[in-house]
C-alpha cells in the first residue's frame, strides 16, 4: 500500500465525524505504526528465505510459491471487508484481535514441521493482517483530534510501511543467515507483544453497524484462491481450479451487481480514471513482486550467494522507494497526476527490458543495480495514480476506492508470484523463465502506459503552484 493511498483513505475516513482523542496519542501512533510495518514486512521478508525453506521442508517450486501466496491472497481477498468488520467491533478491539492472531500464527510458522503446516499458518497470518491494516489506520485517526496533527501522524504511519518494504529482503537475509529461516517468523513474537502493550491506552470507539457483504466476500475469496491454484498447480488440478475460478468469478459478478452494499461496487470501474488506476497499480505489483520473487531465487540458486548477500542486493532497489514516493506526490501536485504516472510506467518498462541482460555470468552487484530503474518507475507511478483515482471518485467513496485499489494490487502481486514460479520452474531453464516473466511484466506496463496516455484531462488532476 502506497503512502498516498493510505493518506487519501485517512482523509475519507475523517468525513465520518469527530474522533475521540487517546489519552496517549503518541503510544497509539507507535502501536499502529508497528503493526502496519509488521504486516507489510511479512509480505516481503519471506522471499529471501525461500531457498532455505525449500531445503529444509521440501515441496519444490510449487511449495515455495504457496509460502508467499498463501499470505498475500488471504490478505488481499479479506481486505475488502475487514474495514467494515473493524467498524463493527471497534478499531482497538479489531487491532488487538488481529495482532494476537498474527503473533500466534507467526509462532506456528516458525514451529511448522512441514510445508503444509507452514502454508496453513501463512493463510492465518494473512487473514489477521487484513484485520490489522484498516484497524491500525482507524486508531491513528481516533488518536488525534486536530486535523493537522492527524495528517502528520498518518504520514508517519504510511512511512512505516515504505520503510518495511525497503527493509524486508535485507531483514530476511540477515535473519536467515544469522539464525535460521524460522527466525523471520519468531522475530514477530516480541514485536507483536510490543504492539499489543502499546494499545493499552488507545481510544475505544463506539461500534457501528456497518453492513457486510458476506456472499460477495466469500465468492471473491474462492475465485482468487482457485485462480492461484490454476496458475501454480498442474494437470487435472489446474483444469478443475480454472473451472472453479470461472464459476466463482461469475457468481461474484452477479452478487455484486445486485447487492445493496457490495464489497466491490462495479460502478466504480465505469470511470476511466478508476479503471486505469487499478490497472496501472496491478501492473506495478506484477512487476515489483514478480522481480523480487525471481531474483531472490536467482541470487541464491543460480549464483550461489548466501541469503544475507541476496537480501543486501535488493537494497539499491528498495532504499529509493520512500524518497521517490514523495517526489511523485510533488510532481503530481505541480504537473498533474498523468505525467508522473506515464513517466513511471515508461521507466519501469525500460527497467524490465534492461533486466533481460542478466544471466549466469552477470556480476551480482550489476544485477542489483539493474533493478533500480524498475523500482523508481513503480515508486513514481503509485502515488500519482492514487491521487488521480481519489480525484475521480466522490469524497464519500474515497476510502472504498482506496481499498479496491490496494486489494487489486495485492491480488496482482500474488498472481505474479504464481506465474513467475511456474515459468522459472519449467523445463526450459531458470534464466529463460526469468526472461519470460520480465517480458510479460513489460508488456502489461506498456499496455497500461498506453491507457494512461489516452486518459482525458478531467479525470486527472493538475495543481499549479
CATH number of domain containing 369: 1.20.1250.20
Count of structural domains within the chain: 3
Do residues 279 and 302 both lie within one domain? Answer: yes
Same domain, 317 and 431: yes
Confidence at residue 88, expressed as pLDDT on a 0 to 100 scale = 76
pTM strictly above 0.85 = no
Confidence of residue 216 (pLDDT cuts 50, 70, 90): confident
C-beta neighbour count of 361 within 10 angstroms:
6
Identify the domain containing residue 442 by its residue range. 268-455
Whether 142 is covered by a domain: the verdict is yes
Give the separation between CA 388 and CA 126, rounded to whole angstroms.
Answer: 29
Do 272 and 416 sit in the same domain of this protein? Answer: yes
Q: Please report the pLDDT score of residue 396 as a whole number.
A: 59
64 located within any domain: yes
Higher pLDDT, 33 or 109: 109
Buried b (16+ CB within 10 A) or exposed e, 244-257: bbeebbebbeebbe
- Write out pLDDT tens, residues 258-280: 887 787 888 888 888 889 989 99
13 and 145 assigned to the same domain: yes
- The answer to whether residue 461 is domain-embedded is no
Three cell numbers written together for 278: 487499478
| Shared-domain flag, residues 321 and 190 | no
Asked whether residue 464 is domain-assigned, the answer is no
The mean predicted confidence, pLDDT, of the chain is 82
More confident: 209 or 21: 209
**Largest Cα–Cα distance in the chain?**
61
Q: Are residues 176 and 317 in the same domain?
A: no
For position 385, what pLDDT does the model report?
Answer: 84
Q: What is the pLDDT of residues 298-331, one digit of tens each?
A: 999 889 999 899 999 998 888 888 888 778 878 8
Looking at 200, 224, 242, which one is the last position of a domain?
A: 200
| Domain contains 89 | yes
**Domain co-membership, 252 together with 325:** no
Q: Are residues 156 and 244 in the same domain?
A: no
Are 444 and 357 part of one and the same domain?
yes
Residue 360 CB: number of other CB atoms within 10 A?
10
Whether residues 84 and 228 share a domain: the answer is: no
Residue 310 forms part of a structural domain: yes
CA nearest neighbour of 66 among 223, 314, 183, 233: 233
Asked if 228 and 155 sit in the same domain, the reply is: no
pLDDT bracket for residue 228 (50, 70, 90): confident
pLDDT band at residue 122 using 50, 70 and 90 as cut-offs: very high
* 283 in the same domain as 140: no
* pLDDT band at 409; cut points 50, 70, 90: confident
Amino acid at each position: 500500500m502506497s503512502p498516498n493511498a493510505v493518506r487519501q483513505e485517512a482523509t475519507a475516513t475523517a468525513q465520518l465525524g469527530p474522533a475521540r482523542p487517546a489519552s496517549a496519542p503518541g503510544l497509539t501512533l507507535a502501536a499502529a505504526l508497528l503493526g502496519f510495518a509488521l504486516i507489510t514486512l511479512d509480505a516481503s521478508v519471506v522471499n529471501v528465505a525461500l531457498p532455505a525453506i525449500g531445503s529444509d521442508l521440501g515441496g519444490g517450486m510449487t511449495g515455495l510459491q504457496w509460502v508467499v501466496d498463501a499470505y498475500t491472497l488471504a490478505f488481499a481477498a479479506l481486505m475488502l471487508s475487514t474495514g467494515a468488520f473493524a467498524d463493527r467491533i471497534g478499531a482497538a478491539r479489531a487491532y488487538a484481535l488481529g495482532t494476537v492472531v498474527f503473533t500466534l500464527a507467526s509462532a506456528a510458522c516458525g514451529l511448522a514441521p512441514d510445508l503444509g503446516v507452514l502454508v496453513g499458518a501463512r493463510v492465518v497470518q494473512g487473514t489477521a493482517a487484513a484485520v490489522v491494516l484498516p484497524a491500525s489506520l482507524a486508531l491513528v485517526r481516533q488518536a488525534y483530534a486536530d486535523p493537522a496533527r492527524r495528517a502528520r501522524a498518518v504520514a508517519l504511519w504510511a512511512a512505516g510501511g515504505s520503510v518495511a518494504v525497503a527493509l524486508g529482503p535485507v531483514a530476511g537475509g540477515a535473519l536467515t543467515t544469522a539464525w535460521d529461516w524460522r527466525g523471520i517468523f519468531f522475530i514477530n513474537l516480541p514485536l507483536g507483544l510490543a504492539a499489543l502493550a502499546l494499545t493499552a491506552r488507545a481510544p475505544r470507539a463506539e461500534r457501528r453497524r456497518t453492513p457486510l457483504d458476506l456472499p460477495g466476500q466469500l465468492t471473491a475469496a474462492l475465485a482468487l484462491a482457485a485462480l492461484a491454484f490454476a496458475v501454480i498447480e498442474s494437470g487435472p488440478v489446474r483444469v478443475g481450479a480454472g473451472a472453479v475460478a470461472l464459476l466463482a468469478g461469475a457468481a461474484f459478478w452477479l452478487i455484486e451487481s445486485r447487492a445493496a452494499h457490495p464489497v466491490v461496487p462495479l460502478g466504480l470501474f465505469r470511470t476511466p480514471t478508476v479503471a486505469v488506476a487499478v490497472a496501472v497499480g496491478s501492473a506495478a505489483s506484477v512487476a515489483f513482486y514478480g522481480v523480487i520473487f525471481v531474483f531472490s531465487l536467482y541470487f541464491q540458486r543460480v549464483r550461489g550467494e548466501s541469503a544475507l548477500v541476496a537480501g543486501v542486493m535488493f537494497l539499491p532497489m528498495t532504499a529509493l522507494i520512500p524518497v521517490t514516493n514523495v517526489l511523485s506526490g510533488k510532481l503530481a501536485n505541480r504537473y498533474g497526476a498523468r505525467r508522473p504516472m506515464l513517466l513511471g510506467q515508461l521507466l519501469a518498462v525500460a527497467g524490465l527490458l534492461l533486466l533481460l541482460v542478466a544471466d549466469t555470468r552477470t556480476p551480482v552487484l550489476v544485477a542489483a543495480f539493474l533493478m533500480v530503474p524498475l523500482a523508481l518507475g513503480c515508486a513514481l507511478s503509485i502515488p500519482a495514480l492514487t491521487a488521480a483515482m481519489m480525484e475521480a471518485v466522490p469524497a464519500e467513496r474515497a476510502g472504498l476506492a482506496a481499498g479496491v485499489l490496494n486489494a487489486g494490487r495485492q491480488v496482482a502481486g500474488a498472481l505474479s508470484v504464481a506465474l513467475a514460479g511456474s515459468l522459472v520452474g519449467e523445463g526450459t531453464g531458470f534464466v529463460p523463465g526469468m526472461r519470460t516473466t520480465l517480458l510479460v511484466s513489460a508488456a502489461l506496463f506498456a499496455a497500461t502506459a498506453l491507457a494512461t496516455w489516452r486518459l482525458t484531462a478531467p479525470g486527472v488532476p493538475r495543481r499549479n503552484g
